Amino acid sequence: MLYVVALPVLGEADDTALRRLRAQYHPGEADLIGPHFTLVFGVPLDREAALRATLETIERRPFWFILERLVRHDLAPPSRGAWLYATPADGAAELTDLHETFNPTGSGEPFEPHMTLGLFERATEAEQIARIVERQHLPMHGRVEELALLRRTADGLETLQSVRL
Per-residue pLDDT, 158: 96
Q: What is the CATH number of domain 2-164?
A: 3.90.1140.10
Per-residue pLDDT, 106: 64
Where in the chain are the domains? 2-164
pLDDT at residue 110 greater than cutoff 90: no
pLDDT at residue 107 greater than cutoff 70: no
DSSP conformation letters of 108-159: SS-----EEEEEESSHHHHHHHHHHHHHHH-SEEEEEEEEEEEEEETTEEEE
State the pLDDT confidence band at 96, using cuts at 50, 70 and 90: very high
Query: Tens of pLDDT along 19-47?
Result: 999 999 999 899 899 999 999 999 999 99
The whole-model pTM stands at 0.92
**Nearest CA to 100 among 39, 49, 161?**
39
